[in-house]
């Protein structure tokens, strides 16, 4: 018999202590199905526990230091994470408390660390008792600061002095599951009816023409026609990118940083397959993910592995583009609510390293744009250094560039570009700046 709590604790150890990505660790879990024989329900419970511990890690650590008289030894980090898994269940999910404690404690037996049974039992029972008295409580603003690295809290306070508490809080909440209907295959109205027929509650997304918001998240295998390409999972803010780029049939379009192809597919859907679209990504393994996306959605584009910051590596036919999308490599600080491991892996030095790369990609792409053409620079970041500051430096460098005024009812209009913030706008945090080249 598997112990889902122990499996989750071991996944958290891999992600938080060893710095591995949450997606990779969870996908290995799925692939190792034969070995672990996890039922679909157990697999989704493990996922829930792993997401929860990654999201609430700072606070759970804070609680654990109050419950343990001394830290556990390095070789017992599995037991440490088992404790966090237990605390997460008691504090955040509706598992019956006795089952949460008993099964977490059983995890120690399964790990062949019987000595830890008494310890886990004592800590979890004390938490149940003391939490009821609120002696372990922290106020909610401090709580969300505890769940983020200090450098990020500091940056958010500086960049968004009025909004940082809302952003931190949203990062700790579960976001809605959003879909984009593949309008080359089915209209949004018809797809909504199909969801309805499958008793999946959903509404049309008021902020995106092809968007749908589900009442409750579902595995993609439960979505009608997903395998045949009738829809994709994509946040509203990511859908705005292609709406703002406004590609048209018969245009020549470049998607410079394309993997796994979410926005590329949206470009192809909006242009009904009538645009000539080139797409690249620097990582060849990720280029495979673009091909998978296009195959599932039954769409076509010219796809290659190349460095967007160096046009001599681009393998596409000569000529200049009408539209270019740069969905730049960035800190990902706008999508922490969907990828809670970002807060554990991202370092302040990463931002410094990303800025020159972002600028180099913008420079190389600008040269490939036709006079009169438009380039959209996008990031899923909420940090000014990667966003408006980057856009402003670009305008300084390129006298042929003018910023196009962007407005959206659900985004902050900045001097250059627009910004969405999780917790303030009903979507992920994204930045967009649109530039037009003079004739
Ligand atoms: C934000 S992701 C793109 C997401 C994608 N546009 C989508 O909607 O599915 C950024 C991508 O940029 C790629 N990248 C990083 N440096 C690059 C470079 N120099 N040239 C091309 N792609 C690069 C990364 O491999 C990553 O896949």
Ligand 1 pocket residue status of 282, Cβ below 6 Å: yes
Q: What is the pLDDT of residue 132?
A: 60
Q: What spatial distance separates the first Cα and last Cα of the chain, rounded to whole Å?
A: 69
Instruction: Using most ligand atoms within 8 A of CB, pick from 233, 238, 240, 259 the residue to mutate for ligand 1.
Output: 259
Strands 276-281 and 252-255: parallel
Distance CA 91, CA 82 (A): 14
CA-closest residue to ligand 1 atom 7:
262
Distance CA 279, CA 308 (A): 10
Ligand 1 pocket residue status of 329, Cβ below 6 Å: yes
Q: What is the pLDDT of residue 312?
A: 96
- Phi first, then psi, for residue 96 (nearest 5°) are -60, 135
Answer yes or no: same fold for 178-233 and 236-437. no
Å from CA of 344 to ligand 1 middle: 21
178 flagged as catalytic: no
Domain residue extents for the chain: 4-137, 178-233, 236-437
Ligand 1 pocket residue status of 429, Cβ below 6 Å: no
CATH architecture of 178-233: 2-Layer Sandwich (3.30)
Q: What is the pLDDT of residue 35?
A: 55
Ligand 1 pocket residue status of 280, Cβ below 6 Å: yes
Q: What is the pLDDT of residue 134?
A: 62
Q: Which two tokens stand for residue 406?
A: 């962007």
**Could you tell me the sign of the dihedral formed by the alpha carbons of 17, 18, 19, 22, in that order?**
negative
By C-alpha distance, which of 412, 241, 226, 438 is closest to 330? 241
Beta bridge partners of 305: 281
By C-alpha distance, which of 153, 130, 113, 140 is closest to 6? 113
pLDDT in tens, the chain (439 residues): 789 999 999 999 999 999 999 999 998 876 654 556 788 889 999 999 999 999 999 999 999 999 999 999 999 999 999 999 999 999 998 778 889 999 999 999 999 999 999 999 999 999 988 776 566 667 777 889 999 999 999 999 999 999 999 999 999 999 999 999 999 999 999 999 999 999 999 999 999 999 999 999 999 999 999 999 999 999 999 999 999 999 999 999 999 999 999 999 999 999 999 999 999 999 999 999 999 999 999 999 999 999 999 999 999 988 899 999 999 999 999 999 999 999 999 999 999 999 999 999 999 999 999 999 999 999 999 999 999 999 999 999 999 999 999 989 999 999 999 999 999 999 999 999 999 999 8
Å from CA of 273 to ligand 1 middle: 22
By C-alpha distance, which of 76, 84, 159 is closest to 344? 84
Query: What CATH number belongs to 236-437?
Result: 3.40.50.150
Ligand 1 pocket residue status of 258, Cβ below 6 Å: yes
Query: Model-level pTM?
Result: 0.94
Query: Could you tell me which residues come within 8 angstroms of residue 405 by beta carbon, excluding any fewer than 6 positions away?
Result: 413
12, 123, 365, 380: the active-site residue: 380
Helix (H, G, I), strand (E, B) or coil at 178: strand
Ligand 1 pocket residue status of 309, Cβ below 6 Å: yes
Topology of the domain covering 4-137:
N-utilizing Substance Protein B Homolog; Chain A (1.10.940)
89 and 98 in contact (C-beta within 8 Å)? no
Å from CA of 328 to ligand 1 middle: 6
């Amino acid at each position: 018999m598997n112990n889902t709590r122990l499996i989750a604790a071991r996944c958290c150890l891999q992600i938080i202590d060893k710095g591995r990505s949450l997606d990779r660790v969870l996908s290995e879990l799925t692939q190792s199905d034969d070995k672990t024989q996890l039922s679909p329900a157990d697999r989704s419970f493990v996922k829930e526990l792993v997401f929860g511990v990654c999201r609430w890690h700072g606070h759970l650590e804070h609680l654990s230091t109050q419950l343990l008289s001394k830290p556990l030894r390095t070789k017992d980090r599995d037991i440490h994470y088992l404790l966090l898994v237990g605390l997460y269940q008691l504090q955040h999910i509706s598992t019956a408390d006795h089952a949460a404690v008993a099964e977490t404690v059983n995890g120690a037996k399964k790990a062949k660390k019987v000595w830890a049974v008494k310890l886990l039992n004592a800590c979890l029972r004390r938490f149940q008792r003391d939490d009821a008295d609120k002696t372990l409580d922290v106020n909610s603003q401090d709580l969300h600061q505890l769940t983020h690295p200090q450098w990020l809290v500091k940056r958010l306070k500086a960049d968004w002095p009025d909004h940082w508490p809302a952003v931190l809080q949203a990062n700790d909440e579960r976001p809605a599951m959003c879909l984009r209907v593949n309008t080359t295959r089915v209209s949004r109205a018809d797809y909504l009816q199909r969801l309805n027929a499958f008793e999946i509650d959903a509404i049309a997304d008021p902020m995106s023409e092809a968007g749908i918001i589900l009442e409750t998240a579902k595995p993609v295998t439960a979505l009608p026609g997903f395998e045949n390409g009738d829809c994709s999972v994509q946040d509203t803010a990511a859908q705005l990118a292609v709406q703002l780029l406004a590609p048209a049939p018969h245009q020549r379009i470049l998607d410079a940083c394309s993997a796994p192809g979410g926005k590329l597919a949206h470009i192809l859907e909006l242009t009904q397959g009538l645009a000539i679209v080139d797409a690249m990504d620097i990582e060849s393994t990720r280029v495979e993910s673009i091909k998978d996306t296009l195959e599932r959605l039954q769409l076509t584009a010219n796809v290659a592995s190349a460095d967007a910051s160096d046009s001599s590596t681009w393998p596409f036919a000569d000529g200049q583009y009408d539209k270019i999308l740069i969905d730049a490599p960035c800190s990902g600080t706008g999508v922490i609510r969907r990828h809670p491991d970002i807060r554990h892996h991202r370092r302040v030095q990463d931002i410094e390293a990303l800025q020159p790369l972002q600028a180099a990609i913008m420079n190389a792409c600008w040269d490939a744009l036709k006079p009169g053409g438009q380039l959209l620079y996008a990031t899923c970041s909420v940090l000014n250094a990667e966003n408006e500051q980057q856009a402003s430096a670009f305008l300084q460098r390129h006298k042929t560039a003018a910023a196009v005024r962007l407005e959206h009812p659900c985004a902050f209009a900045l001097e250059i570009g627009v910004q969405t913030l999780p917790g303030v706008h009903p979507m992920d945090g994204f930045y967009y700046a649109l530039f037009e080249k003079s004739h």
